[in-house]
Amino acid sequence: MKLTQKNKSTIEKMHLISGENKGSIRNFFESMLILIVMDYLEEGKTNIPFIGDFKIKHLKDEYTRDGNEAVIELDFDADNNLLKNIGQIKDKTDPDILQIFKNRVRESLGDYFD
């Protein structure tokens, strides 16, 4: 599968945040796509830990010069972790996720300061 510039940018951001190599991150997202399609075929919801559950509903097909493209609708149920962090941001308080991010930065930079 070919990556768009937007896809490459997301993989780069995930690399910088996680410290994982870009190939592993791409593999993770490809695996997520496989899981999502499998869940769709089983008419089930896909769970993304810390984010929420979503279910794909196929509405119709559109025919393009590149072939069929599905028109879909997503039902999304946000995870409590996502809701809490968004609420904290809207309340102008430090979100819980900020501490996780700070810990990752400290771990990454710790060798430079020791």
pTM, whole model, 2 decimals? 0.81
Q: What's the rounded Cα separation, in Å, for the pair 57 and 55?
A: 7
User: Residues with Cβ < 8 Å from 54, sequence gap 6 or more?
Assistant: 45, 46, 48, 74, 75, 76, 77
Q: What is the pLDDT of residues 40-59, one digit of tens each?
A: 999 999 999 999 999 999 99
CB environment 63-85: b (16+ within 10 A), e (fewer): eeeeeeeeeeeeeeeeeeeeeeb
pLDDT at 80 > cutoff 70: yes
Residue 102 is predicted with a pLDDT of: 86
Residue 103 is predicted with a pLDDT of: 85
* Strands (E) located in the chain: 46-48, 52-64, 67-78
Q: What is the pLDDT of residues 2-34, one digit of tens each?
A: 999 999 999 999 998 888 999 999 999 999 999
Instruction: Give 92 or 113, the one with higher predicted confidence.
Output: 92
* Amino acid present at 82: L
Residue 29 is predicted with a pLDDT of: 97
Residue 26 is predicted with a pLDDT of: 97
Would you state the structure tokens that stand for residue 68, as one six-digit string? 């069929």
